[in-house]
């Protein structure tokens, strides 16, 4: 039965299978299945679930909604450890990175504002002396 609850004809079933199926190399499927088996803590139970999630991440990346920065796992883990052990005012490495970025961007906005003010004052001074 289709999702509509109606019985499918053989032709409908074949067409649905062809339009909703993706052919992947056997080696890639095996790698995905091994990854799921070795990383059950991530919550994937089927390769279809993993592939859907992977496709969503790839689309998000390609649409350039977010920028991704590669940080070696070892360093990221050490940063997490440092944040926790040093009782820093952050929840974890991700929180640290985001708050540092926000802090620098706030400083940048202030710097830009000061630069605009100085440029504006200089223009007004040169205009008043030029008259």
Q: Is the dihedral of CA 108, 111, 115, 117 positive or negative?
A: positive
pTM: 0.54
Per-residue pLDDT of the chain (131 residues; tens, 9 = 90+): 445 566 778 888 777 777 778 888 999 999 999 999 999 999 999 998 999 999 998 898 888 877 888 999 999 999 999 999 999 999 999 999 999 999 999 999 999 999 998 888 888 887 776 65
The 3-class secondary structure across 89-116, one letter per residue, is CCCCHHHHHHHHHHHHHHHHHHHHHHHH
């Amino acid at each position: 039965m289709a999702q509509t609850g109606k019985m499918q004809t053989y032709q409908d079933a074949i067409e649905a299978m062809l339009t909703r199926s993706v052919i992947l190399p056997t080696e890639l499927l095996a790698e995905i299945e091994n990854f799921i088996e070795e990383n059950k803590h991530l919550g994937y139970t089927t390769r279809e679930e993993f592939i859907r999630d992977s496709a969503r991440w790839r689309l998000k990346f390609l649409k350039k909604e977010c920028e991704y920065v590669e940080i070696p796992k070892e360093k990221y883990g050490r940063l997490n450890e440092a944040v926790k052990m040093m009782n820093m005012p952050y929840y974890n490495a991700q929180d640290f990175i985001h708050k540092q970025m926000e802090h620098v961007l706030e400083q940048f906005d202030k710097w830009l504002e000061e630069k605009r003010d100085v440029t504006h004052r200089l223009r007004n001074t040169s205009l008043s002396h030029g008259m």
